[in-house]
Amino acid sequence: MSAPIELRLAARELLAECDVPAKTAGVRELAQCWSAGDVGLSTDAVLLAPLAIPGHPTKPELIAPRDVPRRAMNTPEGRAAMVHAMAHIEFNAINLALDALWRFADMPREYYADWLQVADEEALHFILLADHLQTLGYAYGDFSAHNGLWLMAEKTAHDVLVRMALLPRTIEARGLDVTPGMKARLVQAGDAAIAPIMDVIMRDEVGHVAIGNRWFNWLCEQRGLEPLAAYAELFATYHPAPLRGPFNLEARRAAGFSEAELLDLAAR
């Protein structure tokens, strides 16, 4: 990245990148250049036309969520399929962070810095999981996957408030609930090496949900909205199914959810 760089344009280009190593390496390099002060930022305009779908490799094959095969974790293939599914989530999360970074204009500088941090950490998570998958005898793309996360990105592309409510505060927050159980099942099934990787992911994801909470609450304040009521309305409008427990209340508190929100969640 020797040429002059503008952060949102660079994020848009990385979002369109189909080559997985180029995407992950490019995100990590962009974050380093930003930290070094070598990246500019233009916040006051929509810079380019949106993408219909982000760049992704020819593999994995993308199929409907209901068609993804279920595999038992008591087999090596089943454990590898679970790791592959987590890697695919992290790959999608890179694209979601890049999209949040480039798509929405006129936000504070800190907003763009936050989502670049998220993209960088999601890239690291993907690399750790993909490398671990190699130790199991498989590679990213060896199993089919679905594109459900990006469908929610499309639904929320028109409004940054809706995006913050439905992706980090809803779908990513759900990851806080299920990750400890997934880790325990994989370790119990014999994959002890996955534990430190999932610890890194869990730590960082608390921070990512906190970033979503921060900007959702900021946007509600800017628009004169009461956050709890605004979230309930958006959830009812856009989310296809109710959230089901158990909920990781400790992690959700650490990510910035209020006690009132946690009580409301339990009531759901």
pLDDT digit string, tens, across residues 223-266:
999 999 999 999 999 887 788 888 999 999 999 999 999 998 87
**Are 106 and 2 found together in one domain?**
yes
Residue whose structure tokens are 């304040």: 221
pLDDT digit string, tens, across residues 153-206:
889 999 999 999 999 999 999 999 999 999 999 999 999 999 999 999 999 999
pLDDT digit string, tens, across residues 40-96:
999 886 656 666 667 888 899 888 878 788 878 889 999 999 999 999 999 999 999
pLDDT at 3: 54
pLDDT at 69: 81
Q: Cα 200 to chain center, whole Å?
A: 14
Residue 127 lies in a domain: no
pLDDT at 51: 62
User: Which helix or strand (DSSP H or E) is residue 185 part of?
Assistant: helix 173-188
Query: Distance (Å, rounded) from C-alpha 250 to C-alpha 12?
Result: 35
User: Which helix or strand (DSSP H or E) is residue 5 part of?
Assistant: strand 5-6
Residue 150 lies in a domain: no
pLDDT digit string, tens, across residues 100-136:
999 999 999 999 999 999 999 999 999 999 999 999 9
CB environment 25-46: b (16+ within 10 A), e (fewer): ebbbbbbebbeeeebeeeeeee
Query: Distance (Å, rounded) from C-alpha 37 to C-alpha 209?
Result: 26
- Whether the CB-CB separation of 61 and 147 falls below 8 Å is answered with no
**Are 82 and 9 found together in one domain?**
yes
**Are 103 and 186 found together in one domain?**
no
Q: Cα 145 to chain center, whole Å?
A: 16
Question: Domain total for the chain?
Answer: 2
pLDDT at 50: 61
**Are 1 and 111 found together in one domain?**
yes
Residue 36 lies in a domain: yes
**Are 25 and 111 found together in one domain?**
yes
Residue 126 lies in a domain: no
Residue 153 lies in a domain: no
Residue 129 lies in a domain: no
Q: Backbone phi, then psi, for 94, in 5-degree steps?
A: -60, -50
pLDDT at 139: 97
Chain mean pLDDT for the chain: 91
- In one-letter notation, the amino acid at residue 200 is V
Residue 151 lies in a domain: no
State which residues form the domain around 72: 1-121+137-144
**Are 205 and 112 found together in one domain?**
no
